[in-house]
Amino acid sequence: MIGGKNLNPKQKKRLLKIARSKKPTQANDYIATMTHYNDLFADFPTIRILINNVLQADRLLKRRLLPQTLPKLLLPDDTQDVIYQQLNAKFPAGDPEGDRRWNELSDALPDLDKKLRNFRDYLETTYGMWAYISAPVAKDVAEFIHGRPTLEVMAGNGYLSKGVRDNHQTVFTTDSKDWTKENETGKHPVTTVEKLTASEAFDKYRDQVNVIIMVWSPDGLDIDWQLLQQIRAADKNYDFIVIGEKDGATDSKTFWQHAKLLNTPDVKNLNQHFTQFDLIHDQVYLVK
């Protein structure tokens, strides 16, 4: 299926469930295939832009650097028509080379479309990066923090904390590291991560920080709700930054039911570079 229109929430969740139930593609195979497709579709700039964004993000992450903002990684609905028209203009009718090129490109499209859609799965299985934290997003968060000491809980490999620290902000980065046996979360830290649960981290740093960050808390676990109750019970007014998909792939149902989501200019600024590149519509929230 090319394009991503008219998917209702049930269809989206079904597709995500199917994608996560399959054995993940080996990292080297994924990048090698995308590099091959970059050469194969060299005459089609719209397609190459998408592929090059994937390859460039991977190159930066390999160097332990934050990647740049991604476009929507979906092939346009008219991709097959564009290829046909371009080949039709280049090769006369009945030319064997034109037929060969058409077959080669059209046969590759479904797999290319699937791999673009599954880039997040590649990031998860290779780098333990669940939320796509780009350098511009980290800069926006750092500007919002603006010198205030910050605590990140459930930080995983610490991508957002690294970006915030790179922008000269103080952040205490913590994670329970309970997931290292299940996936790549915690196995590839890009900054110093202290082993603490969210509750333990809040208890330790509550008097030292003014901002709290929580990125992609696991769905189905009420760790996030327990933390929100601790924050509300404290005799202090914290800014609580949450990155996730409301009523979707992240955070507990109870959390979203009880979270008060602010709608302020700060929220707009925090989301100015946070783009949705696949079927998951996560974003940056300020929660009270």
In DSSP notation, 192-208 reads --EE--HHHHHHHHTTT
Q: What is the pLDDT of residue 2?
A: 43
Percent of the residues in the chain that have a pLDDT greater than 90, as a whole number: 85
Q: In the structure encoding, which two tokens stand for residue 199, read together? A: 């509750």
Average pLDDT of the chain?
Answer: 90
Q: What pLDDT, in 10s, does the model give residues 211-247?
A: 999 999 999 899 999 999 999 999 999 999 999 999 9
Nearest C-alpha neighbor of 235 from the set 211, 206, 214, 258: 206
Task: Please give the DSSP secondary-structure letter assigned to residue 6.
Answer: S
For range 30-34, the mean pLDDT: 97
Mean pLDDT, residues 71-94 taken together: 94
Domains of the chain plus CATH, in order, are: 9-127 (no CATH), 135-287 (3.40.50.150)
Residue 20 pLDDT exceeds 80: no
Task: Assess contact for 2 and 80: CB atoms under 8 A.
Answer: yes
pLDDT at 7 over 50: no
Query: Which is it for strands 171-175 and 194-195: parallel, antiparallel or unpaired?
Result: parallel
| Closest by CA position to 185, among listed 216, 163, 162, 211 | 216
Is there a contact between 189 and 128 (Cβ–Cβ < 8 Å)? no
Q: Please report, for residues 119, 196, 260, the alpha-carbon distance to residue 237 in angstroms, rounded to integers and kept in the order given.
A: 38, 22, 14
CB atoms within 10 A of CB 148: 14
Q: Give the torsion sign (CA, 199, 245, 117, 48).
A: negative
